[in-house]
Structure 1
Amino acid sequence: MNIETTAQARTPTKEDMIARAEALLPALRERSAEAEKNRRLPDVTVQEFREAGFPKILQAKRFGGYELGPDTATEVIRTIATACGSSGWVTNLFVIHTWQVSLFPIEAQEEYWDGSDDKLCSTASFAMNSKMEEVEGGARLTGRWKFSSGCDFADWFIIMKPSPTCLDWMLVPRKDVTLVDDWFVSGLSGTGSKDLVLEDVFVPAHRRVSIMDIAMGTTPGGEALGIPMARLPFGWPAIWGIPAALIGMAEGMAAAVQKTLVGKKALFTGEVQVERVANQMKLTECLTDIHAATLIMRHRMAELNSWAEAGAAPNPALDAYVSHRDAAYVSRLIGQTALKLTQMAGATSVYLANPIQRFQRDINVGVTHVSLVWEEAAENYGRALWDLGPKPRG
């Protein structure tokens, strides 16, 4: 099946997609408290994302997507997150997941899209308990998986770690999945990252892709579609969606702090807050750190694009760890910046009506993601610098 749409003749540009994101910001700011209260994005927000074409940014052109590249994805994610952290987080996942689908065998992609170019997908990779049984023609899955962000809107799900001994990806339709709402958390509440339960679900062989192919950039779908970015290990570009969202949250938080200090005076001295040199220096430092994080992200996107076009990184033994290093560093830097912004914002920033406290909590939760542990990323890169090989696993 080759979905032919007139949209393919007028594929939007990176600038078009950023402009579409910017146009949604006022409404997303207004709905951010609603998303947090309801612990999921409002239906209207997801509908606007679909109409803007955000899930199609990395989607294969053969199935109605734009194939614009991860640099476009990260800028759109960053922009959305300046208004609502949960919205930026889920935007990332909608974008990444349609690309993940393009790595599966073509038969699975045909089944997934089923004559439509408008489908949403969610993933789960952390199993509380799971069991996979190899059977004739495929496998059977039973278990419970956590953190399926955006699951309320998903048509399909990718189980990324189907068993304790298997890291392959498996694609299952919504009808085979039960959602369990345990998402009562301190931050990123609007992502609706509920648990998934599967009970003896059959997954045919064509809806499975090998972790080795994912890690090496040799997936059957990627090779069949000829998408340049699919030539690289999936994790190199995929890891950047979360740092992009965190950068956007920090931008939104800094703007809110700048606004909240206008007209305020120090309690005991009466000094105007915006005239205090300490505040001027602190805000400048925070904005500079956010700018530095953004530049690192954009530099990494440009290098990944060039490596994808070339079909390989110039120094695979070392470059295998550089994207993870930079993503983890950016996330750590944003976490530190959020703390500085919180400390200078003053006591009124803790009220729920003030977006500062929400940005702080969303960033605090976002930086805990398992893919962004700085010490692990730094150790792996350091080992590569000294040709020590991958760290032995127990």
Structure 2
Amino acid sequence: MGDRAVIEQVRSAAGRTGGALGAATAATAGAAAATGADAADRDRRLAPATVTALTAAGFPRHFVPARWGGTQGGFAELLTATATVAEGCASAAWCAMLWAAHGRFAAFLPPDGQGELWGDSPDIRVAAAVLPPAGQAVPDRDGWLLHGRWSFASGVEHAEWILLAAPDAAAPDRGARVFALPRDAVRIEDTWDSTGLRGTGSHAVVLPETRVPAHRSFAFADLLRGDPAAPARCHAVPAHLPGGLLFAAPALGAASRALAAWTERAAPGLLDGSAAAREALARSGAEIDAVALLLRAAAERADTGPVDAAAVARNRRDAAVAVDLLTGAVERLLRTSGTGVLAAPGELQRCWRDIHVIASHGALRLEPAAADHARSLAHRA
């Protein structure tokens, strides 16, 4: 049975024919992800059953334009669904979120290019390596000659298409362009063996010189600024408005699960044990709850608020601070757990490792986010 048939079978068994993300579908995908979480961490890749569950839940089609059968959904829905899956496995949530986000990227392709991706189904998993742009693109008749090596293509092993960004060698400013290629066009280098998010398979990819037709390319700047004329809000907003909060979503789910796992472990001695443990539970729990509120407010701004530099700066600030708070909350829990938690692999240790790797992502660095926020306030003064 082919991948598409399996996905439809899963949906049919769940009593639904569409692919819209929701609480029930995310919970189902999260349960599948949790079942394979230890193996994903050990084997450094997601299990096929997890990939099928994430696809059936509606992640890849979430931002696909409606004309191709996609959901062209909202950022708040994706935030919540990603965090739910991350309670089962942060690696699965990371890939699911990016398959959704990369569908939003691909919506900037010309119509013929979109048709190549989604003409048969909106449930196409798209990997990407767009930051920083790498390789080289040279104009060639009505297309491009593209080649190079790109790092950190999360979820690429299970993708069907890949987006690659490269500078235009013929442009005076060498402005970058994004190119869509079938995933089989690239060679995957097994380079991802990280401390956390081990199951994301965020390997490097290599592309020999390949001709890419013009309808499978668009200017990277179009993605960054969004298309204000787009019929769907998700395609109209600039990339940095929702970008950081979506990267923060897997950390929120992992921290929530870490808190639950720690509480289950500590519960027998909480009342008669140390005050430090009770304080850690109270403070870390409150911080994780506060981050959930912070990120949901940011997602609502991305979905419905004004689109201006101040909103972008505020969302970047809130995403960076949110992950910093989550990292501190889980650190506090582990410091009160004793060495046994870190002595052998386990769920709490995995959450801790995953959150640290998420916090290292460039989109969540506090320094540039803080500078951007300060500039936005200075311009309003």
What corresponds to 2:94 in structure 1? 89
Q: Name the structure 1 match of 2:85.
A: 80
The answer to whether the aligner puts 1:31 opposite 2:23 as a matched pair is no
Is 2:204 the partner of 1:195? yes
Paired residue for 1:339, among 331, 343, 354?
Answer: 331
2:3 aligns with none
For residue 169 of structure 1, report the CA deviation from its aligned partner. 1.6
Distance in 1 (CA, whole Å) between partners of 2:303 and 2:144 is 36
2:326 matches 1:328: no
Q: Deviations over 1:6-27 (max 9, x none)?
A: 99x975666xx21122234444
1:99 corresponds to which residue?
104
Match of 2:375 in 1: 383
Instruction: Give the superposition deviation at 1:163.
Output: 6.4
Q: How many Å apart are 1:70 and its aligned residue?
A: 1.0
Q: CA deviation at 1:230?
A: 1.6
Aligned alpha-carbon RMSD (Å): 2.6
Deviation sequence 1:34-60 (CA, Å, 0-9, x none): 001111100110011122222222222
Cα deviation code 1:117-169 (max 9, x no counterpart): 32111001346962222222122121111111110111110113456943332
Indicate yes or no: 2:159 matched with 1:167. no
Q: 2:194 is matched with which residue?
A: 185
**Counterpart code for 2:193:** F
Cα 1:22/1:111, change in 2 over 3 Å: same
Q: Which residue of 2 aligns with 1:49?
A: 54
Pairing partner for 1:218 from 227, 232, 241: 227
Partner SS state of residue 261, structure 1: helix
Match of 2:71, SS state, is coil
Counterpart CA distance in 1 for 2:237 and 2:135 is: 29
Residues 25 and 154 from structure 1, CA distance in 2 versus in 1: closer, same or farther, beyond 3 angstroms?
A: closer
Are residues 1:356 and 2:354 paired? no
Taking structure 1 as reference, are residues 55 and 363 closer, same or farther at Cα in structure 2, changes over 3 Å only? same
Deviations 1:159-212 (A, max 9, x none): 134569433321111232111111111111100111110111212222122223
> Is contact 2:241–2:316 with CA below 8 Å preserved after alignment?
yes
| Deviation readout 1:281-318 (Å, 9 max, x if unpaired) | 111111111111110111111122213xxxx52xx242
The aligned residue for residue 123 of structure 1 is 128
Return the letter of the residue paired with 2:182.
P
Residues in 2 aligned to 1:74 and 1:384: alpha-carbon distance in whole angstroms: 25
For these two proteins, the number of residue pairs brought into alignment is: 365
Which residue does the alignment assign to 1:238? 243
For structure 1, which segment, 346-355 or 370-379, has the greater mean C-alpha deviation from structure 2 after superposition? 346-355
Contact 1:125 1:146 in 2 (8 A): no
Identity %: 26
What is the aligned partner in structure 2 of residue 279 from structure 1? Answer: 277
2:293 is the counterpart of 1:306: no
SS of residue paired to 2:315: helix
1:138 aligned partner: 143
Residues 1:64 and 1:34: Cα distance change in structure 2 (over 3 Å) = same
CA contact 2:134–2:167 (8 Å) conserved in 1:
no
Q: Is the 8 A contact 1:128 1:144 kept in 2?
A: no
One-letter amino acid matched to 1:327: A
Cα distance in 2 between the residues matched to 1:86 and 1:234: 22
Structure 1 CA distance, aligned partners of 2:66 and 2:103? 11
- Distance in 2 of aligned mates of 1:353 and 1:329: 28
Contact 1:149 1:193 in 2 (8 A): yes
Distance 2:90 2:66 in 1: 29
Give the whole-Å Cα distance in 1 for the aligned partners of 2:101 and 2:319: 16
Structure 1 pair 108/27, CA: closer, same or farther in 2 (3 Å)? closer
- Taking the aligned partners of 2:187 and 2:168, their CA distance within structure 1 comes to 18
